[in-house]
Amino acid sequence: MRTLDQYRAVVLGAPLYMFHWHKDALHFLSRHREALTQRRVAVFALGPFHAEEKEFQEARGQLDKELAKFPWLTPGAIEIFGGKFDPEKLTFPHNLVPALKNMPASDIRDWTAIRDWASDLAAQSQPALA
Ligand SMILES: Cc1cc2nc3c(=O)[nH]c(=O)nc-3n(C[C@H](O)[C@H](O)[C@H](O)COP(=O)(O)O)c2cc1C
């Protein structure tokens, strides 16, 4: 995407990989800094394999660390969602890591939570109904 001119708000989401947010998300923030400072921004990351509070907190810590690299960014909403894991789909070099290869497949994406979050954002972006 070359320009954000036609957008009033931006929702940026990407998975966490090896303690970092996906590099495309980081590049997007760097590339669109000026436009993003003038728009409402919400961010989310996918990560946890288990529906456990501790994993969500760790993922949130990883995302916060990444966002701290962009001190000019003030997201109106930050969220972590559970992720999906399939050992069959691991690519190099992760497919060589036994601990990953032996992990069971899982999918804890909570579509209700995702839809609720998205609806709240949409409602916040609408001008108040008279
Ligand atoms: C090699 C690998 C490393 C991962 N590292 C992390 C991590 O550091 N933190 C985290 O919360 N999730 C981590 N995850 C979980 C992914 O974020 C999750 O599986 C996500 O749903 C992947 O999205 P995608 O299928 O769209 O790439 C990792 C997953 C893989 C396969």
**What number is the average pLDDT over the span 99-112?**
96
d(CA 83, CA 122): 23
- Contact (CB, 8 A) for 36 and 10: yes
Nearest alpha carbon, ligand 1 atom 10:
47
Distance CA 46, CA 90 (A): 16
Q: How far is CA 109 from the centre of its chain?
A: 12
Residue 109 Cβ contacting ligand 1 at under 6 Å: no
Does pTM top 0.85 for this prediction? yes
Predicted confidence (pLDDT) per residue in 9-38, tens digit:
999 999 999 999 999 999 999 999 999 999
* pLDDT value for 61: 98
Of all atoms in ligand 1, which is nearest to the CA of residue 97?
1
Which of 46, 100, 102, 103 to mutate for ligand 1's pocket (most ligand atoms within 8 Å of CB)? Answer: 46
Torsion 50-80-11-23 (CA) sign: negative
pLDDT of residue 120: 94
